[in-house]
């Protein structure tokens, strides 16, 4: 199976371009369809192993939109897909979903909740890695952090948690 074609299929699904995804799917044989559907399921519904929580306060004369623009990974914007709920981009080497929320009682207060498909060991392995991919991510994360600091101030520590269960209650 052609990996680029599979990645394109998944990007169409994530960006809700179902017509283009269907065209790619229709060119697959039965086994390739099974692989594509498995990949789609994993991309949409990954197992959460770790959770991070970070709180920020917007600086004076800044808005959530300023924060969001600074928060976006500093990569080529053509690689960012706008979805109905935010953005979709392949940035980290494992599945990560981030929910940014604004306090309804104080619109200058933001929390970011990261749901990660990486175990504590995966994260430690990545941090001790000397691969080019990790070095690139570390450089872009430093630049991203600098941009975020221009519009907001971190409040407290970033807390990391191990996920014990993941429930849907509605």
Q: What is the CATH number of the domain that holds 130?
A: 3.30.70
Torsion angle in degrees (nearest 10) through CA of 4, 5, 11, 15: 150
Query: Residue 21 belongs to what domain range?
Result: 3-44
User: Do 64 and 31 reside in the same domain of the chain?
Assistant: no
pLDDT tier at 1, thresholds 50, 70, 90:
low
In a domain, 169, yes or no: no
The pLDDT of residue 109:
97
The residue with greater pLDDT, 15 or 71, is 71
Residue 105 has pLDDT above 90, yes or no: yes
User: Do 124 and 147 reside in the same domain of the chain?
Assistant: yes
User: Do 15 and 40 reside in the same domain of the chain?
Assistant: yes
What is the rounded average pLDDT of the residues 78-87? 78
User: Do 31 and 65 reside in the same domain of the chain?
Assistant: no
Question: Which pTM was predicted?
Answer: 0.73
pLDDT tier at 94, thresholds 50, 70, 90:
confident
User: Do 73 and 7 reside in the same domain of the chain?
Assistant: no
pLDDT tier at 111, thresholds 50, 70, 90:
very high
In a domain, 132, yes or no: yes
Residue 152 has pLDDT above 90, yes or no: yes
User: Do 19 and 102 reside in the same domain of the chain?
Assistant: no
In a domain, 75, yes or no: yes
The pLDDT of residue 154:
95
The residue with greater pLDDT, 136 or 30, is 30
In a domain, 168, yes or no: no
User: Do 54 and 71 reside in the same domain of the chain?
Assistant: yes
User: Do 72 and 151 reside in the same domain of the chain?
Assistant: yes
Show the DSSP H helices in 15-131 as ranges: 18-26, 30-44, 64-71, 120-127
User: Do 92 and 117 reside in the same domain of the chain?
Assistant: yes
Q: What is the separation of C-alpha 34 from the centre of its chain, rounded to a whole number of angstroms? A: 25
User: Do 122 and 149 reside in the same domain of the chain?
Assistant: yes
**Who contacts 102 (Cβ-Cβ below 8 Å, separation ≥6)?**
64, 109, 110
Return the closest-CA partner of residue 28 out of 7, 12, 6: 6
pLDDT tier at 10, thresholds 50, 70, 90:
confident
- What domain count does the chain have? 2
Convert the pLDDT of each residue in 40-54 to its tens digit: 777 667 889 999 999
User: Do 82 and 148 reside in the same domain of the chain?
Assistant: yes
User: Do 142 and 92 reside in the same domain of the chain?
Assistant: yes
The pLDDT of residue 119:
87
**Who contacts 31 (Cβ-Cβ below 8 Å, separation ≥6)?**
none
């Amino acid at each position: 199976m052609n990996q680029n074609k599979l990645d394109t299929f998944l990007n169409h699904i994530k960006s809700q371009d179902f017509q283009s995804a269907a065209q790619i799917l229709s060119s697959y044989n039965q086994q390739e369809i099974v692989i594509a559907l498995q990949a789609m399921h994993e991309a949409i519904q990954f197992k959460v192993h770790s959770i991070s929580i970070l709180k920020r306060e917007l600086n004076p004369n800044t808005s959530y939109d300023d924060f969001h623009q600074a928060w976006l990974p500093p990569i080529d914007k053509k690689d960012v897909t706008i979805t109905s709920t935010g953005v979709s981009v392949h940035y980290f080497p494992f599945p990560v979903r981030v929910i940014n929320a604004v306090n309804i009682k104080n619109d200058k207060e933001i929390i970011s909740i990261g749901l990660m498909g990486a175990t504590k060991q995966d994260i430690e392995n990545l941090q001790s890695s000397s691969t080019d991919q990790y070095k690139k991510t570390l450089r872009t994360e430093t630049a991203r952090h600098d941009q975020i600091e221009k519009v907001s101030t971190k409040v407290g520590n970033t807390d990391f948690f191990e996920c014990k269960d993941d429930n849907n209650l509605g």
